[in-house]
Amino acid sequence: MRQAGRYLPEYREIRARAGSFLDLCYAPDLATEVTLQPLRRFSMDAAILFSDILVVPHGLGQQVDFREGEGPVLDPVESAADLARLDLNRIGVALAPVYEAVARISGELPSNVTLIGFAGAPWTVASYMVEGSTSRDFARVKAWAYGDPAGFKELVNLLVKATVEHLSRQIGAGAEVVQLFDSWAGVLPDEQFQLWCVEPVAEIVTLLKARHPHIPVIGFPRGAGGQYLGYATNTGVDCVGLDTTVPLDWAVERLSDARVLQGNLDPVALITGGEAMRSMAATILERLAGRPLVFNLGHGILPSTPPEHVAELCELLRADGD
Amino acid sequence: MRQAGRYLPEYREIRARAGSFLDLCYAPDLATEVTLQPLRRFSMDAAILFSDILVVPHGLGQQVDFREGEGPVLDPVESAADLARLDLNRIGVALAPVYEAVARISGELPSNVTLIGFAGAPWTVASYMVEGSTSRDFARVKAWAYGDPAGFKELVNLLVKATVEHLSRQIGAGAEVVQLFDSWAGVLPDEQFQLWCVEPVAEIVTLLKARHPHIPVIGFPRGAGGQYLGYATNTGVDCVGLDTTVPLDWAVERLSDARVLQGNLDPVALITGGEAMRSMAATILERLAGRPLVFNLGHGILPSTPPEHVAELCELLRADGD
């Protein structure tokens, strides 16, 4: 999950002078600074690039705005005909500041801290591109996917290519692991999940592994519920990110044989702190004992999180890991 | 799922003259009318009472408003001390108009159409009561549940009693089946899901069965994902409502031995219509062939649904069932 954010006063200070949220993502010096901020406070094994999954549609040429308190607003793509407005060849130039940030962060991180790059998975990015904003019911993007699968597949294919390009350039600049965030994986029926969440991610993994065979890929199909197993089995990702709700006994039994698990402390436990936080973290460590685990939150860190709770959690994990 | 709603012009007409949304729920003649509207258009096997899960906190004495385009707004309950403002004994009188509506609907329905009563499950109702509105992250209600489980349990215990009272009165007035909607079941980690979704529902089922042994109980833990099995196994519900994302092969294999399944067509399929809708409905019928099934949507019907698509679906199901 994003480690930087509004819970840190030093982030809020930089955010206040950066102009828009996208301006912050595209300023290599500021993106580097906010990526490194949590590392200066907390003892963490990895840093994750500060960026946003919507830089990809923006890089393709779609209008994207972040409005304060409202979330992202995009000029919607509504049919295959609208794809003519988008251009895969823009990515390299338009997103060059992101890759420059990756290179700077890579240069500043100590060698024992891993740098994670990331992108949105095609279904989630397509949801924003078609809905034009955060959606409650995903009616537009689903109606397109269900009613005109061939046309929708053109959009998804474009996103597969753009995602591979975006991640490859991050790897070229120094990212050592990449993560695919499928934040809206949890809204599709079974067959549609296979078509729009599993298959495009499998394609991305195949294409990435051909270029960068030693870079691990983490897949995070948030909310996939009963579809987690199909995702873990059929996408080829090296590590599966578990959201907060995934039962760990089940995950260990069904998912952990071939893959690393990542997860899944409820971010609200970090707000609560104290014994509740310690006991929920200890449960994760116990259930995954002896298996490869990337300890993480099961969802993004919340703005009201007290930084001292994060510090306590990191110390607790460090003590367990030593 | 609610069958009435804004997708029907005759509903919008009554809604426009009813005053607030709660006024509509508390006007027995109007609630009866909107409950029966879909039955006049479509060939359905069951009717579900038109009401809302928030009548229970309102009946207990909490301030509840429905604001147009904004959803419900409640005067939040924040700690066990606030429970003194709530009174279980108010339910019978405050919600008498709901029971009168049930009695009227029961009197008007043909004998071969089942009347379903309902209530929200305690976790979901508590979420609204504590957050004060629809929430993105459930930080307040979770922080209470994680940090002060004994205090939060008092609220949940009150809701267990209120729910049993509310459902028993609906049954007394003519409801033949009752459904518990746990719309926010999909946000809790494993152990917390057991505490706040499974145990309170199990208590409600036990208490209801003691009073009304022959009334089937449907449980709908929307978004429960990997926790569906624990819910189906440990709550004692007769029928499990599946949300849109539950893989049917898995549900048949793991959930269907002892219980009826209900679900789970994506409401967006009803917007799309045509071959996509027919094929997604046919998939459900095929996977559940030979097993007891309450065909339903996997989530609420959307306002932009064309009524003629609902009519076509009902005819298709009727032809299959005959």
Q: Residues A37-49: pLDDT tens digits? A: 999 999 999 999 9
B-chain residues within 8 Å CB-CB of A249?
Answer: 190
- Is B67 an active-site residue? no
- The Cβ-side half-sphere exposure at B184, using a 13 Å CA radius, reads 24
Residue of B190, B243, B253, B297 best to disrupt the A interface, most CBs of A under 10 A: B190
Mutation site for B-interface testing, chosen from A191, A245, A252, A277 by largest number of B Cβ within 10 Å: A245
Whether B24 is covered by a domain: the verdict is: yes
**pLDDT value, residue B69:** 77
Pick among B123, B133, B184, B245 to test the A interface (most A CBs inside 10 A): B245
Helix (H, G, I), strand (E, B) or coil at B149: helix
pLDDT higher than threshold 70 for residue B316: yes
Question: B59 is written with which tokens?
Answer: 């009946």
- Active site residue: A7, A11, A26, A52, which one? A52
Which of A139, A228, A248 lies at the smallest CB-CB distance from B190?
A248
What pLDDT is attached to residue A258? Answer: 75
Chain B residues with beta carbon closer than 8 angstroms to that of A137 = 267-268, 299, 302
CA distance A182 to chain B (A): 15
The beta strands (E) that lie in B68-216 are given as 71-74, 114-120, 177-182
Task: State residue A266's pLDDT score.
Answer: 97
For an interface test with B, which of A134, A137, A152 has the most B Cβ atoms less than 10 Å from its Cβ? A137
Please say if A222 is a catalytic residue. Answer: no
Å between A224 CA and nearest CA of chain B: 7
The answer to whether the bond into B264 is cis (omega within 30° of 0) is: yes
Instruction: Say whether pLDDT at B279 is over 80.
Output: yes
Residue A130 has pLDDT above 70, yes or no: yes
- Percent helix, strand, coil in chain A, to 5, is 55, 15, 30
Mean pLDDT of all residues in chain A?
Answer: 95
B2 is catalytic: yes
User: DSSP E strands: which ranges in chain B?
Assistant: 46-48, 64-67, 71-74, 114-120, 177-182, 217-221, 239-241, 260-265, 293-297
Q: What is the pLDDT of residue B68?
A: 79
Residue B302 lies in a domain: no
Tens of pLDDT, residues A262-320: 999 999 999 999 999 999 999 999 999 989 999 999 999 999 999 999 999 999 999 88
Closest CA to B159 of B124, B117, B206: B124
User: Whose CA is closest to B9, among B305, B315, B312?
Assistant: B305
Question: pLDDT tier at B11 (50, 70, 90 boundaries)?
Answer: very high
B155 assigned to some structural domain: yes
- B260 phi and psi, to 5 degrees? -75, 145
Name the residue among B210, B226, B177 with its Cα closest to residue B45: B177
Residue B115 · residue B176 · CB < 8 Å: yes
Query: What is the reported pLDDT for B149?
Result: 97
CATH assignment at residue B65: 3.20.20.210
pLDDT surpassing 60 at residue A169: yes
Chain centroid to Cα B309, Å, comes to 23
ipTM > 0.95 (yes/no): no
Asked if A193 and B245 come within 8 Å (Cβ–Cβ), the reply is: yes
Find the domain containing A110 and state its range: 9-241
Q: Which of A259, A256, A178, A263 is nearest to A223 (CA)?
A: A263
Query: A70: distance to nearest CA of chain B, Å?
Result: 13
**Span B216-230, mean pLDDT?**
96
Which residue of chain B comes nearest to A267, CA vs CA? B139
A216-264 residue pLDDT tens: 999 999 999 999 999 999 999 999 999 999 999 999 998 877 799 999 9
Interchain proximity B226–A247, CB inside 8 Å: yes
Q: Tell me which chain B residue has its CA closest to the CA of residue A193.
A: B245
pLDDT at B70: 81
Helix (H, G, I), strand (E, B) or coil at A111: coil
Task: Tell the residue number behind the tokens 């906190």, with chain if given.
Answer: B57
| Rg of chain B over all Cα atoms, to the nearest angstrom | 19
Cα separation, A247 vs A249, whole angstroms: 6
Mean pLDDT over B239-257 rounds to 92
**Subunit contact A138:B191, Cβ cutoff 8 A:** no
Percent of chain B with pLDDT over 90: 92
φ, ψ for residue A175, nearest 5 deg = -70, 135
Q: How many domains does chain A have?
A: 1
Q: DSSP 3-state helix, strand, coil percentages of chain B (rounded to 5)?
A: 55, 15, 30
Q: Would residue A294 count as lying in a domain?
A: no
Flag whether pLDDT at A2 surpasses 90.
no
pLDDT-based confidence at A322, cuts 50/70/90? low
* Per-residue tokens: A52: 């946003």
Q: Is the pLDDT of residue A321 over 90?
A: no
Query: In chain A, which residues have their Cβ closer than 8 Å to the Cβ of B131?
Result: none
- Tokens at A2, concatenated: 């994003």
Q: If you average pLDDT over residues B46-72, what whole number do you get?
A: 94
Query: B137, A283: Cβ pair inside 8 Å?
Result: no
In the residue annotation, B6 being an active-site residue is answered as yes
Alpha-carbon distance of B314 to B153, in angstroms, equals: 42
| Residue A125 belongs to a domain | yes
Whether B259 is catalytic is no
Half-sphere exposure at residue A249, Cβ-oriented, CA atoms within 13 angstroms: 5
Q: Which residues pair with A106 in a beta bridge?
A: none
- In a domain, residue A173? The reply is yes
Tokens of A145: 């996917």
For A272, the closest of B147, B193, B249 (CB atoms) is B147
pLDDT given at position B313:
97
Residues of B in contact with A245 (CB under 8 A): 186-190, 193, 223-227
Band of residue B302 on the pLDDT scale cut at 50, 70, 90? very high
Look at residue B322 and tell me whether its pLDDT is greater than 70. no
Residue B136: HSE in the Cβ half-sphere, 13 Å Cα cutoff:
11
Question: Contact at 8 Å (CB) between A185 and A227?
Answer: yes
Selecting from B187, B190, B268 the residue whose C-beta is nearest the C-beta of A143 gives: B268
Tell me if A269 is assigned to some domain: no
Name the residue in chain B with its Cα closest to that of A274: B147
Whether A309 is covered by a domain: the verdict is no
